Amino acid sequence: MDYAQFNFAVRLIRETVRSDQSVILSPASISTALFMIYHATDGEMKQRLQKILGGNARKMEIQRYFGKILADNVGTRNNNNYILNIANRFYARQGFSMKPSLSYILQFYYGEKLHNFNYEQRNHLAQMSMMHLKAQLPYYENNFVQVVKLPYVGEEVELVIILPKIRFNLLNVREKMTGRDLIMYIQDAIPTEVEVIK
pLDDT digits (tens, 9 = 90+) for 59-107: 889 888 887 777 665 544 555 555 555 555 677 777 777 777 777 777 7
- pLDDT value at 24 more than 80: no
* Choice among 46-60, 136-150, 158-172, 180-194 with the minimum mean pLDDT: 158-172
Domains (range + CATH), the chain: 2-121 (3.30.497.10), 132-197 (2.30.39.10)
- pLDDT value at 117 more than 60: yes
For every residue of the chain, DSSP letters joined together read -HHHHHHHHHHHHHHH--SS------HHHHHHHHHHHHHH--HHHHHHHHHHHHTT--HHHHHHHHHHHHHHHSEEEE-SS-EEEEP--EEEETT----HHHHHHHHHHHS--EEEE-GGGTTPPPP----EEEEEEEEEE-SSEEEEEEEEETTTEEEEEEEESSTT-HHHHHHH--HHHHHHHHHT-EEEEEEEE-
| Residue 33: C-alpha distances to residues 75, 78, 88, 137, 168 (Å) | 14, 22, 7, 30, 32
Q: How high is the pLDDT of residue 51? A: 92
Q: How high is the pLDDT of residue 115? A: 74
- pLDDT value at 188 more than 90: yes
Q: How high is the pLDDT of residue 142? A: 92
For every residue of 2-48, DSSP letters joined together read HHHHHHHHHHHHHHH--SS------HHHHHHHHHHHHHH--HHHHHH
Q: What is the pTM of this model?
A: 0.62
Mean pLDDT, rounded, for 144-161: 78
